Amino acid sequence: MRVLQVSAEIFPLLKTGGLADVAGALPGALAAVGCDVRVLLPGFAPILADLCTPTVLAELTAPWGEILVLRQGRLASLNVWAYVIDAPALYARPGSPYEDAQRHPYTDNDRRFALLGWVASRLASGLDAAWRPRVVHAHDWHAALTCAYMAFLPPQRERVACVYTVHNLAYQGLFAPRHFFELGLPAAAFAMDGLEFHGQMSFMKAGLFYADHITTVSPSYAREIRTPEQGCGLDGLLRTRADDLTGILNGVDEAIWDPAHDPVIAAPFEAANPAGKACCKAALQQELGLVVQADAPLFGIVSRLTEQKGLHLVLAVLDELLARGGQLVVLGAGDAALELAFAERAAASPSSIAVRVGYDESYAHQIFAATDVTLVPSRFEPCGLTQMYGLKYGSLPLVHRVGGLADTVVDCSLEDLAEETANGFVFEHFDSHALSRALARAFALYALPAQWRLVQERAMHQNLGWPRAAAQYLALYQRLCH
């Protein structure tokens, strides 16, 4: 099964969030179930630099006249074959792949990401005579135009299937209609039955409308996005496509996230031998200037600081968390008001709250290793990876019951403790009162160390690997190819 994965980000080369983790793990997981996987990526500097002995596959002219070079080779850090679009005028920009230094989206993002889809469709129609995919699998709005370009290819001898995965419906790639006419799609595509969305061009809608099959990253989110509350205006379309929409839960890349073999944490540990976790906690408390106290419950947040993540609820219960004897460590960046609010709280209580504004992969590992609880109170969460990293590292997740959080975390209610399914703390209503009650349950369990250890051990043993998801994707690809 030849599969071309198309995404804008890939860990460890370029990452702004969970999309990169998934794009980085999926090729290996699919290869392990027998797929022949290649990736197509935009030529951002770290990606071009990682390409071993690249050769030129083709020189192409984009629909709007721009010349680009399509290079191919093996990515050294991932050991996967990649096609990389070398177009420096579009991609050679430092910092975020999507925004300038003032956090404004680049004004040519339509071209930058239409090109990704356009090149994907060229590979689908046989641009590489030595390797033609059976399935093209595009991720999120950046790659979504793939599905529209493929829908308008001339009839092929062997049909190539197109799968589109929604990682977050809230980011849609909307552009003014005048941009549509330079992208080389037929005028018929700019219609309600197409990629037009309230007078604008929607890359997201192109994916949802034209893909042969849509997946999203958890079963719960697959249901939620078909409702007006969570459908971001696209729930009607998603309801009509309900038979072609599947939720496949992401996994954890255990080569990267494994406390028994994690080179950046203070001491290794595992479920059967958790002693190293106490060392990690003491080391972090010491380093951050928190009171070094083994029995002070340490809460952690590793997150983009955006409205989605529900972190204003944490600010609302922070006094209570401190009054109960807890400590908090935060690593995040994003919304300036949230950055400031957390920084101010840390300045006011430096021995119990530590906040670092920024992005730091190693520090994220150290936080999961050191903390007792990982807070993920998201308003909505398509899948969420940090609650899974928390589970793996014995940092019990405290989450809002939504999306992938609902699919991975079971509350420590008396009945779920008795039935040995509990692995964290879950609140139902998205308000600070409900979060505060979940916090109270976390402190109550923490006061029962033997019980806590049982739940922690269960969390660390939870099967979160990629093989299950890879098998589901493979079954889907096979069904679409028959």
Q: Which residues would be at the binding site for ligand ADP (CB under 6 A)?
A: 17-19, 21, 302-304, 331-333, 359-361, 364, 383-386
SS (H, E, C) the chain: CEEEEECCCECCCECCCHHHHHHHHHHHHHHHCCCEEEEEEECCHHHHHHEEEEEEEEEEECCCCCEEEEEEEEECCCCEEEEEEECHHHHCCCCCCCECCCCCECCCHHHHHHHHHHHHHHHHCCCCCCCCCCEEEEEHHHHHHHHHHHHCCCCCCCCCEEEEEECCCCCCCEECHHHHHHCCCCHHHCCCCCCEECCEEEHHHHHHHHCCEEEECCHHHHHHCCCCCCCCCCHHHHHHCHHHEEECCCCCCCCCCCHHHCCCCCCCCECCECHHHHHHHHHHHHHHCCCCCCCCCEEEEEEEECHHHCHHHHHHHHHHHHHCCCEEEEEEEECHHHHHHHHHHHHHCCCCEEEEECCCHHHHHHHHHHCCEEEECCCCCCCCCHHHHHHHCCCEEEEECCHHHHHHCCECCHHHHHCCCCCEEEECCCCHHHHHHHHHHHHHHHCCHHHHHHHHHHHHHCCCCCHHHHHHHHHHHHHHCC
**Segment interacting with ligand GLC (CB under 6 A) among 12-20, 89-97, 112-120, 362-370:** 12-20
Rounded-to-integer distance, Cα 18 and Cα 331, Å: 15
In the complex, the smallest distance separating the C-beta of residue 243 from ligand ADP, rounded to whole angstroms, is 27
**Residue 144, interface with ligand GLC (CB under 6 A)?**
no
Rounded-to-integer distance, Cα 48 and Cα 196, Å: 34
Contacted entry of ligand ADP, ligand GLC, none for residue 302, CB cut-off 5 to 8 Å set by kind:
ligand ADP
**Segment interacting with ligand GLC (CB under 6 A) among 17-25, 92-100, 268-276, 324-332:** 17-25
**Residue 470, interface with ligand GLC (CB under 6 A)?**
no
* Binders in 157-196 for ligand GLC, by CB under 6 A: 167-168
Applying CB under 6 A, among 97, 173, 384, 397 the residue interacting with ligand GLC is 384
**Residue 24, interface with ligand GLC (CB under 6 A)?**
no
Total of chain residues touching ligand GLC, rule CB under 6 A: 14
Contacted entry of ligand ADP, ligand GLC, none for residue 364, CB cut-off 5 to 8 Å set by kind:
ligand ADP
In the complex, the smallest distance separating the C-beta of residue 304 from ligand GLC, rounded to whole angstroms, is 8
In the complex, the smallest distance separating the C-beta of residue 19 from ligand ADP, rounded to whole angstroms, is 6
Q: What dihedral do alpha carbons 41, 42, 46, 51 form, nearest 10°?
A: 50
In the complex, the smallest distance separating the C-beta of residue 146 from ligand ADP, rounded to whole angstroms, is 20
Applying CB under 6 A, among 202, 230, 250, 303 the residue interacting with ligand GLC is 250
In the complex, the smallest distance separating the C-beta of residue 454 from ligand ADP, rounded to whole angstroms, is 26
Contacted entry of ligand ADP, ligand GLC, none for residue 217, CB cut-off 5 to 8 Å set by kind:
ligand GLC
| Count of C-beta atoms within a 10 Å radius of residue 60 | 17
Residue nearest to ligand ADP (CB): 18
**Residue 247, interface with ligand GLC (CB under 6 A)?**
no
18/194 with CB nearer ligand GLC: 18
* Binders in 402-421 for ligand GLC, by CB under 6 A: 404
**In degrees, to the nearest 5, what angle opens at C-alpha 82 toward C-alphas 144 and 47?**
85
Rounded-to-integer distance, Cα 8 and Cα 47, Å: 10
Contacted entry of ligand GLC, ligand ADP, none for residue 331, CB cut-off 5 to 8 Å set by kind:
ligand ADP
Tokens of residue 454, six digits: 């049982």
**Residue 383, interface with ligand GLC (CB under 6 A)?**
yes
In the complex, the smallest distance separating the C-beta of residue 118 from ligand GLC, rounded to whole angstroms, is 24
Applying CB under 6 A, among 26, 68, 87, 217 the residue interacting with ligand GLC is 217
Residue nearest to ligand GLC (CB): 18
Applying CB under 6 A, among 117, 207, 300, 382 the residue interacting with ligand GLC is 382
Query: Prior bond to 54 cis, omega within 30?
Result: no
**Residue 385, interface with ligand GLC (CB under 6 A)?**
yes
**Segment interacting with ligand GLC (CB under 6 A) among 59-67, 115-123, 333-341, 377-385:** 377-385
In the complex, the smallest distance separating the C-beta of residue 69 from ligand ADP, rounded to whole angstroms, is 31
In the complex, the smallest distance separating the C-beta of residue 16 from ligand GLC, rounded to whole angstroms, is 8
> Which residues have CB under 8 Å from 168's CB, separation 6+?
19, 140, 308, 382
Applying CB under 6 A, among 8, 9, 14, 18 the residue interacting with ligand GLC is 18
* Binders in 258-317 for ligand GLC, by CB under 6 A: none
Contacted entry of ligand ADP, ligand GLC, none for residue 133, CB cut-off 5 to 8 Å set by kind:
none
In the complex, the smallest distance separating the C-beta of residue 25 from ligand ADP, rounded to whole angstroms, is 11
Task: Give the binding site for ligand GLC (CB under 6 A).
Answer: 17-19, 22, 167-168, 217, 250, 381-385, 404
